[in-house]
Structure 1
């Protein structure tokens, strides 16, 4: 998975990344501070892919795709664990099975999970199923899980992107074949999700992400399958807006932040041309203002993540070639999006 960086209710940041034997976790010692604890290994043998979702309560939901070996061959299932407080242990991993409980061969063809929490506090988990559609499972606010449901769809590729607005309206963006992406959304908080119009897009699998770019509006990002350029789209936009970054790889990390007193969207990805993390910013929902990608940090840094710390400053994190966490923070005494020196956290 891409590195994930979340802020807890106490203002401290936590970073999560896949590691041998499970998930590596690093935790800020104090909000906005320079010292971190970690990595601490969250054991999860057989974990193949992982995502982390967070609701307004601050709980971190870890959802992964797991492979285990049995007497009758390998088994694939989706697993879930919850971290209720920053720096605290997680619950035990709980198996959610798969959309194909009676067909092990089909279960092996499901995609990586995506997850988001809606306004009711319900967690929804999504996977591409063996038939090329989307299957979902919901945990209600009391912790009870519904059965897997088929959300339909065709030609869905791997790399689903799920997100929610501040008022808890969930959206799912699913790359699909034939020059389109599928989209489901909640028209209002707590409403039943419904299928939206297909998004004209030729999406590179595994490159989609999203951020709330204004109150109640999510902007979706992806890489063009042909050029690799980053594109941005939101409902009611006439077309996807080009953002350059064709030499980048993987999904774009994105966060909304205040830069020089202006509401901006900050982006980060791994730039394969320089071998470093590249960062850019533009006024929120004004992609036409232009985007300039600036390489930063050391060679080989990858899977960047973005978040606002407890002081409201932009934090960029990435993994070094040695597996250590690399962190840079926004400077507040310079114009534009300037970063302080990168620091290395913990041991690999």
Structure 2
């Protein structure tokens, strides 16, 4: 069950798609909650009480506050009908919920699709009838509710299911949180999609309002807080929260393939027929947003590990908890175990093993912006009983709220080293003082201000370490890297990798001969349309890098790639395998055509309806496993029956949610 919470009636189709449409296409139950009425700066006007048609909705002179709010409802309904490929026919009703009244519109041909309107005022509505008469705090209602600074009254759009007698008053943000949490419970949400609660301060738009739209930020924070209150269906920690970047995606590369761009633009055009504030055809930012989708907090692809005894273990953040699935010695997986971290976590986890084989999990706290860690007390033992803080590299200066999710790796000397995008848009690191020991201080490598989340680490055959990062510099995607010689771990910046422009985080993997390969998503730019495809760079003898990247094709999709290293030092058919989400929201894979070779460009669709990015690992016998999070709170597992670079992943199962 997908519940999407956005501020305005076009935010979902602009910033959550194509994930939203993939859920609809897959036949899932989809419920979208619009927090505000989206009435902008229109004022009420007596006498305009007829429901407008599409023609009237495009003429400002025909609109007042209540009619424009209705137009935006009609636009949302038309967009969802188009995504569902059914007639634009709806029923609507008013429903009491947590002490307030909301209206729910149901698509007749697909009743599993419903739109919920809370009708709180838009930020630009400065009318005193919605601001509680407080002249000092007019407008920005959601911001003031989030800050618990004043009450606010809802509006009643023309043609609304809400009767005038049920026009509501929200006392503070806690009341909004209660309504949203009750909504999650009513719909038994397992996926909660929200907007960006902490926009990246490096990018444009309204610095005084947090570098995005005030309603987007406040609405996302209220929705996120409600997700923390919501225990999940039947009290089980199933719900997975997926936050999306908003306005600032136009400062990143165009990353959607041609098919998704066309679908997203078509759905948006359906909405625009009812919105007089957007030109036809849309221009500027409205033209750019349908070409992109970016997650605020990705799951990353390093959330599985291998225990000392060779069994595999996967971890995920859901229901404000840390959940783990552990493989038994028989090869089957035990029921999931729920662990309680000291605070809410971002979805991105990094799992690695200490020198003595004990697994360690690193995460980012959402409330304090610390990097925290937990580990097994003994090899193959329990995890999550003890947590420690590694602090924040920007505590004293910079932007601590902008620190990214950690990526950790065990280096050749046996120590774990943690890397994060810091608040200045560069790279920071912290390392264990000795194998199996605690951590030293943070060190800043610089490299800012363009580094993005999603780092990757590779260890070279001679014991050196290389760190790669996707960065946006002067509006152009780059793959930056830093290298350390064996034994010193003194990292120096190296030249950016050259080749086709990247549009997502890199993933390093090791070939059979020990050389590194780095792969990433590609962008659409003036030189060509590679969006949805994957490019790979090969390390050459002597440690240099290929001057061009190999385009290895792909099935669409965005964000990070998962990979398994080839087994080194063996004559066996050992190859790197890559895994990625595809344009339908499922899982696809490709592999080197031969050990130490290139990729053939042949991809296989493994199916599934996924949340976040996959993670892959090898069992003790060399068989490859790939893990992916499902939209019902469970875990998809696919694996080879026998090891080998030419072996398909034929065995599949879906592990239960907690």
The reply to whether TM is greater than 0.5 is yes
- Taking the aligned partners of 1:340 and 1:58, their CA distance within structure 2 comes to 29
1:36 equivalent in alignment to 2:333:
yes
Aligned partner of residue 108 in structure 1, secondary structure:
helix
Match of 2:578 in 1: 267
Do the aligned partners of residues 332 and 125 (structure 1) sit closer, same or farther apart at CA in structure 2, a change above 3 Å counting? closer
- Taking the aligned partners of 1:335 and 1:240, their CA distance within structure 2 comes to 22
Cα distance, 1:204 vs. partner?
2.2
1:150 equivalent in alignment to 2:444:
yes
Structure 1 residue aligned with 2:550, among 241, 245, 261? 241
Match of 2:392 in 1: 98
Match of 2:427 in 1: 134
More strand by share: 1
- Taking the aligned partners of 2:352 and 2:439, their CA distance within structure 1 comes to 16
Match of 2:123 in 1: none
1:158-307 matches, within 5 Å, as: 158-165=453-460, 168-178=463-473, 179-200=477-498, 202-205=501-504, 207-226=505-524, 227-235=531-539, 236-257=545-566, 261-273=572-584, 275-282=585-592, 283-287=594-598, 290-300=600-610, 303-307=613-617
Do the aligned partners of residues 176 and 335 (structure 1) sit closer, same or farther apart at CA in structure 2, a change above 3 Å counting? closer
Cα distance, 1:180 vs. partner?
2.3
- Taking the aligned partners of 2:371 and 2:640, their CA distance within structure 1 comes to 37
- Taking the aligned partners of 2:354 and 2:643, their CA distance within structure 1 comes to 32
Match of 1:50 in 2: 349
- Say whether the 8 Å CA contact 1:245–1:293 is kept in structure 2: yes
Aligned partner of residue 17 in structure 1, secondary structure:
strand
- Say whether the 8 Å CA contact 1:228–1:248 is kept in structure 2: yes
Report which of the two structures shows the higher radius of gyration computed on alpha carbons. 2
Do the aligned partners of residues 56 and 190 (structure 1) sit closer, same or farther apart at CA in structure 2, a change above 3 Å counting? farther
Deviation sequence 1:166-208 (CA, Å, 0-9, x none) = 7653221011123422211223245422222221263324x32
1:13 equivalent in alignment to 2:309:
no
Aligned partner of residue 188 in structure 1, secondary structure:
coil
Aligned partner of residue 121 in structure 1, secondary structure:
coil
Cα distance, 1:13 vs. partner?
0.8
- Taking the aligned partners of 1:53 and 1:221, their CA distance within structure 2 comes to 20
RMSD: 2.7
Q: Which moved more, 1:7-16 or 1:125-134?
A: 125-134
Q: Which moved more, 1:162-171 or 1:117-126?
A: 162-171
- Say whether the 8 Å CA contact 2:555–2:603 is kept in structure 1: no
- Taking the aligned partners of 2:552 and 2:506, their CA distance within structure 1 comes to 14
- Say whether the 8 Å CA contact 2:461–2:515 is kept in structure 1: no
Q: Which moved more, 1:107-116 or 1:184-193?
A: 184-193
Cα distance, 1:303 vs. partner?
2.7
- Taking the aligned partners of 2:620 and 2:653, their CA distance within structure 1 comes to 18
- Taking the aligned partners of 1:334 and 1:14, their CA distance within structure 2 comes to 21
- Taking the aligned partners of 1:272 and 1:95, their CA distance within structure 2 comes to 38
Match of 2:114 in 1: none
- Taking the aligned partners of 1:339 and 1:324, their CA distance within structure 2 comes to 19
The runs of 5 or more residues in structure 1 that have no matched partner are: 69-74
Aligned partner of residue 601 in structure 2, secondary structure:
coil
Cα distance, 1:12 vs. partner?
0.7
Match of 1:120 in 2: 413
The runs of 5 or more residues in structure 2 that have no matched partner are: 1-298, 525-530, 540-544
- Taking the aligned partners of 1:191 and 1:300, their CA distance within structure 2 comes to 37
Structure 2 residue aligned with 1:340, among 643, 650, 656? 650
Aligned partner of residue 452 in structure 2, secondary structure:
coil
Deviation sequence 1:226-280 (CA, Å, 0-9, x none) = 313211113332321111115133211111347x95221111111123x321122
- Say whether the 8 Å CA contact 1:169–1:186 is kept in structure 2: yes
Q: Which moved more, 1:83-92 or 1:230-239?
A: 83-92
Cα distance, 1:60 vs. partner?
2.2
- Larger RCO (alpha carbons 8 Å, 6+ apart): 1
- Taking the aligned partners of 2:452 and 2:485, their CA distance within structure 1 comes to 25
Match of 2:635 in 1: 325
Cα distance, 1:76 vs. partner?
1.6
